[in-house]
Amino acid sequence: MRLLFLVLLVLVGLIQYPLWLGKGGWFKVWDYQRDVAAQREVNEGLRARNAALEAEVRDLESGQGALEERARGDLGMMREGEVFVHVLPPGTPLPSANAVPQATAPKPPPKPGAAAAAAPSQRR
């Protein structure tokens, strides 16, 4: 009787092994369920990002406002007649006037009458 009980216990153990530890066992199923849940979260984040990108593409295709906003923010463009004001953070030293080269306007040619008027005074 004891031998029959021992044989049945071993058979039950052999049947239970694939259920718990085999390829499609419960432990693998739990791991797969955890992986699927993590992947679903990643997919939801990617769906939200794709929706935002799709909305931005639609804005860029349909309206001038989105194009203007992109040009102003990314490229630093301004409208004609606007004044650009750069606000420095507190504690930033101001650039010196000599550090920034100033564009010089070409000198206008002298007027013909002015040269003749200056010439007699130099003769004396």
Position with higher pLDDT, 86 vs 6: 6
What's the pLDDT at 97?
A: 62
For residue 16, is it within any domain?
yes
Structural domain of residue 19, as residue ranges?
A: 1-75
pTM of the entire predicted model: 0.44
Confidence of residue 69 (pLDDT cuts 50, 70, 90): confident
For residue 109, is it within any domain?
no
Distance (Å) of CA 90 to CA 56, 93, 94:
34, 9, 10
Say what percent of the chain tops pLDDT 90.
23
For residue 123, is it within any domain?
no
Q: Say if CB 60 and CB 67 are below 8 A apart.
A: yes
Q: Domains in the chain: how many in total?
A: 1
Report the greatest alpha carbon distance in the chain.
Answer: 148
For residue 96, is it within any domain?
no
